[in-house]
Amino acid sequence: MTELGVVRRDRGAMPAPVILGLVALCFYEVLSSGASLLAGRFASVVVSAPIAALILVGVLRGHALAFRWGVIMPFVALLAVATSGDDTVIAMSCGVLLLAIPVSFSMPSSRRFFGLECPRCHATHAKPRDLFFNKRQCRACDTTWLE
Ligand SMILES: [Zn+2]
């Protein structure tokens, strides 16, 4: 295993799949918050809106932790939508929007934007080596680095 220490990278412009995931995230949050407010479920908005805002800021900054939450959160939210018994058009739309987020974030250009490209072998499948995803490890060559 090779340790490279701190690696600086040029994030470049936000790739189209990240923009698509970001738009889907925003639409989902507006739709689900609106539906929750109409149904009088204020606690749901109080919990989900700050989480969505944190993910939004992380995505704009290209942080790998936002990538991780952008992939995990939709499945948790999809489970909540599926178990709510709500079969309205809004609920169905939320499901489609939710699936668009992990799919678009998993594209190679998205993974590069989130700093998951190995600086040594250029594989784009890094895994976290610490809680905040600042230290990463390449799944292909085991190289570790910090961002
Ligand atoms: Zn590698």
Q: List pLDDT tens digits, range 90-125.
A: 666 777 778 889 999 999 999 999 999 999 999 999
Q: What value does the mean pLDDT take over residues 15-41?
A: 87
Q: What is the distance in A from the centroid of ligand 1 to the CA of 44?
A: 41
What is the distance in A from the centroid of ligand 1 to the CA of 124?
Answer: 8
Rounded to the nearest angstrom, the distance between the alpha carbon of 108 and the centre of ligand 1 is 14
Q: How far is the CA of 145 from the centre of ligand 1 (A)?
A: 10
Instruction: Give the pLDDT confidence score for residue 141 in this predicted structure.
Output: 95
Q: Order across the sheet with 135-138: list the strands.
A: 3-6, 144-146, 135-138, 126-128
Look at residue 41 in the predicted model and tell me its pLDDT: 79
Sign of CA dihedral 90, 53, 51, 78: positive
